[in-house]
């Protein structure tokens, strides 16, 4: 009798997986609340193609994959340590439709199918080139979402996107949270994240 | 030849449906960013039973239904105008697994199957009774999420939940957003929402 | 017997004058909390020269005048309605050391004494010219503070100030406030304001 | 020839003294932006009597003293380390009208003159007793301001103040700030502070 390998899959939620469940480096991960708003802004549907550029620990790809069981997600990352995190996380959360691409964007994008959705979590100093490359390939009615934590990225991303004919909506997310088990419930702030959602003007 | 009725379903996203797509009254709806964080805090899985108490315009139930195609969602509402909104929205977004219950909670809860997840969006002054009723029925490892916009609700909800043996985590969500098509991108703030996530201590 | 005119001066606070005490148009006034932080960032001392460019309803000049009884404050404004507000407010709050200049900056700045502090509350589309004019006149160890509510002003102000050799610190202020007499204490958010504080590098 | 001792007083601002200028322990100090809003909510006038209960490092007393050269400020503190901070800071900033009282409130309040203004920065678990003691002594049209960083303090302070006949306004201050000299201007959040301003109903 042969028993197939089966992941001992604890029942994780579709979205709202706790940050500490991911293999990650401190400050790398998109925090769970910001991840949820990011996924909402990506306006995902079940069967889309999504690129996740600068995938970090892969948390956005993994929850996107839970939302799109018939979708195809391509996660690009070049940093060796992050790649190791992503591999561990893809396995842990059984994200079957995420393809990991070892590449430093915009390299590595040419061979992928055209995207309906693009999430840019990190750009490694290549933001303008990445936006150009994405713009050449994004399908009609596609969406680009980019998260910025510095004024410089916020300013440049908006400028580049508008230069390429996109309308942008910027959502600033400020979260503070109490810790579950402390007696006094002190609110601790997370750094604000600017979520830029861009759609091509007709 | 008889052709079955088929919704002319525009392709709405699974989560992140724009607020203006819902039939609703001003200030009633849980705004799209807060809805996304609320759904994340509910930690939904595909096949759960969820109660949505004080469902308002039904936006949380509808997106929860998109996340749980095999789940069962029961939306309780008593206000006649809101019921009309929910009916329109359930139809528009083809939310097949949401059952609308016309009742003023805690009434109407007795006949429902035990919940894995409970969202309390409105309590109509019956907060303590509702939490008691929910507590008697919530399944092991269940989760309660409650959104508060006033200090009074925040204070009372935390007190009642802790009195019934729950640990609470409070997430304060402050969102500001630019309007997509304006030239100057002015950040407009939404009122903060306190999302209380409660789990029963062992 | 001649009795000198004496203002029936209710005892207003030095800072923290309530917004509704000022003659103003809706959305014009720097709200009381943001005004307090703005004054802190101006790092006022008792005997300084301050320019208030685009003075609006004059609230910043008036509280600055309370802090600097031996200072000299020059409030520039050109909008006829705002000028009327400022005159009413200067009289009401007995701000003796505020000089009102009817001019559209950078016009009107030439004849003023060199400033130790400059607050730019409004720039009427002349931001770069104003920053250039201010830069030629600002005294050593001077400070410029500028309040921005749009991404465009934030981006340009930082760019122009850095181009002229300034270091900038940006403080984003998000305020939500309950109304004093309501029963339920609902938190209402004010739009965020970005306070840019600039000092010249040596 | 006798030369009087003279402080080598660098010219510090009246309000907006940088946090790092104070002798203090990490996390003890009321941050400069919150301090400015706190002082605004205290609605100070030149010649008032103010109690600063749980004075910490004394930063609120010191800036209040700059605003009220003819006022009398009494700073209560019992923690030995904090007392040492306050003494250093009072000397450094030449705050001549601040009297330091070594006492654990409500002890130590009996011998002080009746206050026009009371700031409660820390209560050492004696919040209800302190509010009772303050209420017996506060002058007509007096103001109490209390800063809370936990839900528990916020809830209890509002409850005790309302029980004693006060109306409260709560201001939640969320600040994020870039560091002056970094290249990328990343916004770093400070934990939110709830500033409760209470006035006695007639």
pLDDT in tens, A112-159: 999 999 999 988 899 999 999 999 999 999 999 999 999 999 999 999
pLDDT digits (tens, 9 = 90+) for D45-55: 999 999 999 99
Residue A147: strand, helix, or coil: strand
Residue B189 to residue C191, Cβ atoms within 8 A: yes
Instruction: Determine the pLDDT at residue D1.
Output: 47
**For residue B140, what is the enclosing H or E element?**
none
The pLDDT > 70 percentage for chain B reads 93
> Per-residue confidence at C1, pLDDT binned at 50, 70, 90?
very low
Collect all residues with Cβ–Cβ distance below 8 Å to A106 and sequence separation of at least 6.
A126, A129, A130, A132, A133, A134
Can you say how many angstroms the Cα of residue C38 is from the centroid of all Cα atoms in its chain? 7
> Are the CB atoms for D179 and A179 separated by under 8 Å?
no
Average pLDDT of chain D is 92
Mean pLDDT, range A33-49, rounded to an integer: 97
**For residue A36, what is the enclosing H or E element?**
helix A32-42
Mean pLDDT, range D89-107, rounded to an integer: 96
If one compares C10 and D197, the residue with the highest pLDDT of the two is: D197
Instruction: Determine the pLDDT at residue A4.
Output: 46
For B155, the closest of D155, D174, D192 (CB atoms) is: D155
pLDDT digits (tens, 9 = 90+) for C33-57: 999 999 999 999 999 999 999 999 9
Q: Pick from B12, B9, B59, B54: which is nearest to B31 by CA?
A: B59
Instruction: Determine the pLDDT at residue A5.
Output: 43
Does residue A156 sit at the D interface (CB-CB below 8 Å)?
no
Instruction: Determine the pLDDT at residue A180.
Output: 61
Residue D154: list chain B partners with CB under 8 A: 151
Q: What is the ipTM of this complex?
A: 0.94
Question: Is the pLDDT reported for residue D112 higher than 70?
Answer: yes
Instruction: Determine the pLDDT at residue D180.
Output: 61
> B19-200 has which CATH code?
3.40.50.150
If one compares D125 and D10, the residue with the highest pLDDT of the two is: D125
Average pLDDT of chain B is 92
For C184, the closest of B150, B184, B186 (CB atoms) is: B150
Instruction: Determine the pLDDT at residue B4.
Output: 46
Instruction: Determine the pLDDT at residue C182.
Output: 65
Instruction: Determine the pLDDT at residue B184.
Output: 84
Count of B-C CB contacts under 8 Å: 55
Torsions phi, psi of B40, nearest 5?
Answer: -65, -40
Cα C44 to Cα C172: distance, rounded to the nearest angstrom? 20
A14-42 residues labelled b (16+ CB within 10 A) or e (exposed):
bbbbeeebbbbeeebbbbbbbbbbbbbbb
Question: Is the pLDDT reported for residue A8 higher than 80?
Answer: no
pLDDT digits (tens, 9 = 90+) for B13-41: 999 999 999 999 878 889 999 999 999 99
Instruction: Determine the pLDDT at residue B188.
Output: 95
pLDDT digits (tens, 9 = 90+) for A50-109: 999 999 999 999 999 999 999 999 999 999 999 999 999 999 999 999 999 999 999 999
> Per-residue confidence at D5, pLDDT binned at 50, 70, 90?
very low
Q: How far is C1 from chain D (nearest CA, A)?
A: 31
Instruction: Determine the pLDDT at residue B182.
Output: 65
The pLDDT > 70 percentage for chain C reads 93
Q: How far is A168 from chain D (nearest CA, A)?
A: 21
Can you say how many angstroms the Cα of residue D98 is from the centroid of all Cα atoms in its chain? 12
Q: Pick from A193, A188, A175: which is nearest to A119 by CA?
A: A193
Count of A-D CB contacts under 8 Å: 56
Domain ranges, ordered by start, for chain D: 31-200
Residue B108, sorted as left (phi over 0), alpha (psi -120 to 50) or beta, turns out to be left
Angle (deg, nearest 10), helices A32-42 and A59-67: 50
- E strands, chain C, where? 49-53, 72-77, 98-102, 117-120, 143-148, 166-177, 188-189, 193-200
Does residue A185 sit at the D interface (CB-CB below 8 Å)?
yes
Instruction: Determine the pLDDT at residue A181.
Output: 58
Does residue C116 sit at the D interface (CB-CB below 8 Å)?
no
> Are the CB atoms for D187 and C172 separated by under 8 Å?
yes
Residue C154 to residue A158, Cβ atoms within 8 A: no
Residue A190: list chain D partners with CB under 8 A: 189
Mean pLDDT, range B136-153, rounded to an integer: 96
Residue B46, sorted as left (phi over 0), alpha (psi -120 to 50) or beta, turns out to be alpha
> CA-CA distances (angstroms) from residue D199 to B190, D41, D149?
28, 11, 21
Instruction: Determine the pLDDT at residue C104.
Output: 95
| Prediction pTM value | 0.94
**For residue D187, what is the enclosing H or E element?**
none
Least confident range from A91-95, C159-163, D30-34, D179-183: namely D179-183
> Are the CB atoms for B31 and B190 separated by under 8 Å?
yes
Residue D176: list chain A partners with CB under 8 A: 174, 189, 191-192
Give the bridge partners for A202, in sequence order: none
Question: Is the pLDDT reported for residue B8 higher than 70?
Answer: no
> Per-residue confidence at D88, pLDDT binned at 50, 70, 90?
very high
Instruction: Determine the pLDDT at residue B175.
Output: 98
Least confident range from A9-13, B118-122, D83-87: namely A9-13
Q: Which fold has domain D31-200?
A: Rossmann fold (3.40.50)
Residue C14 to residue D175, Cβ atoms within 8 A: no
Instruction: Determine the pLDDT at residue D163.
Output: 95
Residue C177: list chain D partners with CB under 8 A: 169-172
């Amino acid at each position: 009798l042969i028993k197939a390998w089966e992941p001992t899959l604890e029942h994780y939620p579709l979205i709202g997986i706790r940050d500490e469940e991911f293999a990650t480096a401190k400050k790398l991960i998109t925090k769970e609340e910001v991840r949820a708003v990011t996924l909402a802004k990506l306006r995902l549907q079940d069967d889309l193609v999504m690129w996740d550029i600068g995938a970090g620990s892969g948390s956005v790809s993994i929850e996107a994959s839970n939302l799109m069981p018939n979708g195809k997600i391509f996660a690009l990352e070049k940093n060796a340590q992050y790649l190791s995190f992503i591999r561990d996380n893809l396995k842990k959360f059984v994200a079957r439709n995420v393809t990991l691409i070892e590449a430093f964007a915009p390299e590595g994008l040419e061979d992928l199918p055209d995207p309906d959705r693009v999430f840019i979590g990190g750009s490694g100093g290549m933001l303008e080139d990445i936006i150009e490359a994405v713009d050449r390939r994004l399908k009609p009615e596609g969406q680009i979402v980019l998260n910025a934590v510095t004024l410089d990225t916020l300013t440049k991303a908006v400028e580049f996107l508008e230069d390429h004919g996109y309308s942008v909506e910027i959502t600033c997310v400020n979260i503070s949270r109490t810790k579950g088990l402390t007696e006094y419930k002190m609110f601790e702030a997370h750094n604000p994240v600017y979520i830029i959602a861009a759609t091509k003007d007709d």
